[in-house]
Amino acid sequence: MPDTFPSPPSPPSRWGALAGLLTAEAVGGALVFVLAFGVFFYLAREVFAEKSAVFDDWGFAQMDRLRAAAPWLTWWVFKFTFFGSVAFFIPASLLVPLVLHRRGFVRYAFELLLSMGGGLALNELLKFYFQRPRPSTALIYQYGLSFPSGHAMMSMAYYGCLAWLVVQHTGRWGWGIALVAFALLIGLTRMYLHVHYPTDVVAGFAGGAAWLVLLRTGLRVFWKEKKVGAREAKAES
């Protein structure tokens, strides 16, 4: 009787591997994207189609009340808002990926660079499209357009990406939540200083969150495709 040997398992198909993306993470990401896109679309409609200033007036009123009750906060706000500025993000977006790369986290470095580069380009495109002037009541002069807030959007892109990488690598959700909260506080400083309307800030958060989900989904497909392609090449050799 001839010996029979089980045939080696065939490598997973490309479509089968991509089907593995349908995980709880992917479903959660889809929900975040839909919610973020919906918030951004609603705010854009309220500001530019409905010409509504209800939320902006309410948000500014809350910040003015806070500033009157605790004027000492203003000094801290000026310091805190720096961590969402171009002057901070340019070196941070280069140095942190460099450190990650040198420590062997090449993929993480790549993700952070893409998050910031793509987020900046998207923010500039949106500002150019909507062409909203900044508030005339700003406590400090800021150049550029207003909708959506660059501080809010880029903070969500940077600290949100870092939060995801920390949770992915260490599982420490506390650090991830702290990083996202840090991004939210930076956005609030823009409202406090009246350099952005509240709708600008919330739209910036929504735009940054939507961009992160798109980036994460695209990178998962890319890395999965790359992994499957490597397996297929190995199987054929």
- pTM of this prediction? 0.81
Tell whether 22 is covered by a domain.
no
> Could you tell me the residue range of the domain that residue 94 belongs to?
28-228
Instruction: Name the percent of the chain lying above pLDDT 70.
Output: 81
Tell whether 195 is covered by a domain.
yes
Tell whether 16 is covered by a domain.
no
Q: What pLDDT does 228 receive?
A: 44
Residues with Cβ within 8 Å of 1's Cβ and at least 6 positions away in sequence, in order, are none
Query: Which pLDDT tens digit goes with each residue over 154-204?
Result: 999 999 999 989 988 888 899 999 999 999 999 999 999 999 999 999 999
Q: What pLDDT does 223 receive?
A: 61
Distance CA 52, CA 128 (A): 21
Distance CA 191, CA 60 (A): 7
Tell whether 233 is covered by a domain.
no
For 60-71, what is the mean pLDDT?
94
Query: Which pLDDT tens digit goes with each residue over 210-236?
Result: 999 888 887 776 666 455 444 544 555
Average pLDDT, rounded, for the chain: 85
How many domains in the chain? 1
Tell whether 23 is covered by a domain.
no
Q: What pLDDT does 23 receive?
A: 64
Residues with Cβ within 8 Å of 165's Cβ and at least 6 positions away in sequence, in order, are 108, 111, 112
Tell whether 36 is covered by a domain.
yes
Query: Which pLDDT tens digit goes with each residue over 17-44?
Result: 445 555 656 677 778 888 999 999 999 9
DSSP code of 82?
G
Q: Residue 5 above 60 pLDDT?
A: no
H-only helix segments in 103-172: 106-130, 150-170
Q: What pLDDT does 229 receive?
A: 46
Q: What pLDDT does 19 receive?
A: 52
